[in-house]
Structure 1
């Protein structure tokens, strides 16, 4: 394994997010599908999805370049029947994690642990079935709660609950903080709503108000090196805020690239003008595309978008056309 590749801004790429499918059994109103927009279709397996060998081959090349962690995403990655095999074949020494809606964890969590899965994030945006159904357009509230319990019991603790903070869910933040503080094996990740990717700015909530509230009640506050995120410890529970919107510090500390389910590399969640095909997914093609993607990465805020005289972010003329 070589040292990680660095982009022109000194950011080492040590992690990858691999979307295994854009299919999902939920239809969350805030979903941006890893920055690609809502492209989900039928639930049947799609011909354009990378197959098992493609995913493993990419991970083997990523490991050559010093990548030491992978997060499998979607869509809903557990719709992939080969997920356990992919996890099992992930290169040794690479941390494996999964972001899921949790509905398929009952019955499969132990097998994923046996395959080598290290961590799991479960989307849970409310502690109320009606609000949960309105946000996810799904009636699977109890199934998600059971999935979380099964993940903890299988040894995937701490399970991180992902909660997108926007108009529909803001009233449940306090209850969710109390919930993780009272429940062994859980942590909470509050995710800033991204109106530029969903097209509904009227749903936005000022995430700084959440930061301020947590700072007042927290027993201690820590900062993670990844994205310079803040962690708040409240009554023994851990709450972390992911706040990328108009956050130059967040972008300046980003060490991840993303892979779409179709086998395209992208250097930034917010951009789709930098998609690069890995062709037939041979190792030489993957290596070349990986090097190109890392070399062309720029911070989204502070480079790709810059502030004008009025303090608004506008597209840098260098990247027009």
Structure 2
């Protein structure tokens, strides 16, 4: 069917939610598949062999994804982040990224990855226009990385970090999910990386995501405690919030550090009032909040209604449903509650 002209859809600056937040950022989960089995993403049941994957037909095709992005950009989206699962395991991803980079008005393409394939694909990603990368790494000890991820991959990941730094990516962000009794004894070691390398090391509070999440109050460690531990190394100097920092509070550890530290606090100091994002899950659902389970079935819209106008309407519906904030703290207090979507499908 012939695609509608973009003149038939709402124009730029139409993506304003009910609380006057301007939505300019779309996160695309390309696949629920991953080459790792991280303990905070794969649940206990799944780690014991019951992991189920989406069928290929359940994923949006690259053509469908490109169409969604074209419509979203016409409405005001300027930044897209590619996530998974692990986005680099999906076949044909580099060609998709090159086509994504050709969309007029899309000014910022980023990727979140576990880093295993970055040494191999980094130069092509950079050439395709991806110059901002988030790399998940929860330990600097190879044996512990293997225990957390289920794979002996530290050396591969670190070579990926070095590859992206050598290419000139700015920023290269290293994401650590801080977990008490698992990796919290490495918090200061991670912070020290920012004093030697031009990285933004980011400390992310462990979130209860998934119906069988391994999250519990004993494992959770809040940002205030993380910052207190790092302060023993030197002064944390707050930096002016940058466009690329997203939800992170950013500091420099001493005035001479080449890198920075970011703190992401979805539970202890949530940032809902400045959230500017939508998520498109790997199963084709629009999700306006990571920690709320309400979704709009965009895959059905794409395959049953076909029109750009219908895609735009789905985007606007998701934005109208965007809550003022999450109620996760109250759910935790009452029930130890979680959000029931699986992180590998929602997108990290």
Per the TM superposition, whether the score is higher than 0.5 is yes
TM range (shorter): 0.7 to 0.9
1:276 counterpart (293, 297, 303): 297
**What per-residue deviation string (whole Å, max 9, x for no partner) do you get for residues 108-167 of structure 1?**
111111111121111111110111111111111111011111122223233111100012
Partner of 1:230: 249
SS of alignment partner, residue 231 of structure 1: strand
Secondary structure of the 1:121 match is: strand
Moved more, 217-226 or 74-83: 217-226
Match for residue 6 of structure 2? none
Q: Whole-Å Cα distance in 2 between the matches of residues 312 and 159 of structure 1?
A: 36
Alignment partner of 1:8 out of 10, 18, 31 = 18
Counterpart CA distance in 2 for 1:51 and 1:59 is 12
CA deviation after TM superposition for structure 1 residue 292, in Å: 0.5
- When normalised by structure 1's length, the TM-score is 0.86
Residue 154 in structure 1 maps to residue 155 in structure 2: no
Query: Which residue does 1:130 correspond to in 2?
Result: 143
Q: 5+ residue gaps in structure 2? A: 1-10, 336-348
Query: Match for residue 267 of structure 1?
Result: 288
| SS of 1:81 mapped into structure 2 | coil
Q: Which string of whole-angstrom CA distances, capped at 9 and with x for unpartnered residues, describes residues 202-255 of structure 1?
A: 31113211133445633511253766632110141200011111535x111111
Q: Quote how far apart the aligned CAs of 1:106 are.
A: 1.5
1:244 alignment partner in structure 2: 266
For this pair of structures, how many residues does the alignment match? 305
- DSSP-derived class of the 2:290 partner: coil
Select 1:256's aligned residue among 259, 277, 283. Answer: 277
CA distance in 2, matches of 1:268, 1:260: 11
In 1, distance between residues paired with 2:163 and 2:140?
18
- Matched residues in 1 for 2:32 and 2:330: separation? 33
Structure-2 change in CA distance of 1:187 and 1:246 (3 Å): closer
* Stretches of structure 1 lacking an aligned partner (at least 5 in a row): 315-321
Aligned to 1:63: 73
Match of 2:92 among 82, 104, 123: 82
Quote the offset at 1:21 in angstroms. Answer: 0.3
The alignment's C-alpha RMSD in Å is 2.8
C-alpha separation in 2, matches of 1:238 and 1:222:
9
Aligned to 1:97: 110
Superposition deviation, residue 295 in structure 1:
1.1
- CA distance, structure 2, for counterparts of residue 130 and residue 243 of structure 1: 27
TM-score, normalised by the number of residues in structure 2? 0.79
Q: Could you tell me how far apart the structure 2 residues matched to 1:305 and 1:28 are? A: 22
Preserved contact between residue 222 and residue 268 of structure 2 (Cα < 8 Å): no
